[in-house]
Amino acid sequence: MRLNQNTLLLGKKVVLVPYTSEHVPRYHEWMKSEELQRLTASEPLTLEQEYAMQCSWQEDADKCTFIVLDAEKWQAQPGATEESCMVGDVNLFLTDLEDLTLGEIEVMIAEPSCRGKGLGTEAVLAMLSYGLTKFEAKIGQGNEPSIRMFQKLHFEQVATSSVFQEVTLRLTVSESEHQWLLEQTSHVEEKPYRDGSAEPC
């Protein structure tokens, strides 16, 4: 996460900010949901474990994690806390240290009222512009909305695991895909996050 610890990405529907300790309480509340635990294949953590996880993600060079904020809410209410505008998160992991061009991407729109409005799509598109050339997404077989979203972003199903009950989708960024991504993300602005200094763990 060191890669993005001082980066804010401003889109039309979402604002992506680094995952900091101030986001942990709201994130922890989300992850008490059995539905989200099932959809993200996550185990419930204590609040202390969640703070430790946030800290480890912040220090991990192989992970890039952003909290997804509702851009409309964030811009309409000057002085609104990021926590009050949080709708989910998006992650990019380098999963194969022998192949640094491959990243696994995950997105979660945790707020039910914000699903199906294109926020997850814009968050993923912003992450796809991070310069890797191959992306994978592993999604629970029952999570049809997420599978459809990735397919709309040109991901193709390459594997199914009955053991983990998940499908693997992959996108290889060709020159034409790269041009398409540039067009889809031309409006996204990269800005410095706060004063440019990451909080210590």
What is the pLDDT at residue 15?
Answer: 97
> 159: Cβ–Cβ under 8 A, 6 or more apart, which residues?
167, 168
d(CA 17, CA 177): 26
CA distance 121 to 173: 17
Q: In this model, does residue 186 exceed pLDDT 80?
A: yes
Burial class of residue 60, CB neighbours in 10 A (0-12, 13-18, 19+): middle
89 or 39, higher pLDDT: 89
What is the three-class DSSP state of 195? coil
- For the segment 150-165, the average pLDDT, to the nearest whole number, is 95
Q: What global pTM score does this model have?
A: 0.92
From start to end of the chain, where are the E strands?
7-10, 14-18, 63-70, 86-94, 102-109, 134-140, 156-161, 166-172, 189-192
Mean pLDDT of 52-79: 89
